[in-house]
Chains A and B, each alone.
Chain A
Amino acid sequence: DTEVTQTPKHLVMGMTNKKSLKCEQHMGHRAMYWYKQKAKKPPELMFVYSYEKLSINESVPSRFSPECPNSSLLNLHLHALQPEDSALYLCASSQDLVEVAGPTDTQYFGPGTRLTVL
């Protein structure tokens, strides 16, 4: 089973709202990722969690706040977003951030949340 679930599928929010995106995996993966993807562009990495600790923050504005409550869950808290933050937000997981190349590096993605900021 290589399933990563994300909720909600669609989200419309105003610039003053606070909302959260949720991601869950039950594959025993220890690395989880948030990506942002604009139309017709590749995904852009936002955050990486390894063993529930924030490992990479790609200089993401503080209006995006990630949280990893446990090894299966990853949240992205949204506050005071701008219209240009409208995008597809993808979550992914992989077995581990290993030191030697191997197929366990494969990231499995969820279906994404389409976010619209008005």
Chain B
Amino acid sequence: AQKITQTQPGMFVQEKEAVTLDCTYDTSDPSYGLFWYKQPSSGEMIFLIYQGSYDQQNATEGRYSLNFQKARKSANLVISASQLGDSAMYFCAMREGFYSSASKIIFGSGTRLSIRP
């Protein structure tokens, strides 16, 4: 079974509109971390935002916010006031298995976001 699911392979959004990128996850660990990364066509993976499983509040970083619904196991990324430079691939990722040194990040399949001028 997939641990991280991103159901939107591609999205088109008008510039200045808000956009929500969906992510659901599956884990039985009580302690885990959720991440969103942006990958422009240049290839670099850019860290956007982090949410810990014990965090009471949704994480926010500038125009990025994470809509964390623990009971539903969803961690959607919200980008407010989208810009042309937001066009990129976006990956949701999860780190689990914190009780050993062999834990690792698992990535979703990604969502390609295209911003229309």
Contacts and interface: CB of A to CB of B under 8 A. Distances in A.
Interface stretch (B18-26, B45-53, B64-72, B73-81): B45-53
Contacts of B47: 2, 106-109
B98 A101 contact: yes
Interface residues of B, number: 28
From B42, B101, B104, residue with most partner A Cβ within 10 Å:
B101
B109 A42 contact: yes
Nearest to B108: A42
A42 B95 contact: no
Given A55-B102, A106-B50, A43 B33 contact: no
Interface residues of A, number: 30
Interface string B82-117: 000000000100010011011111011110000000
B91 A42 contact: yes
A105 B43 contact: no
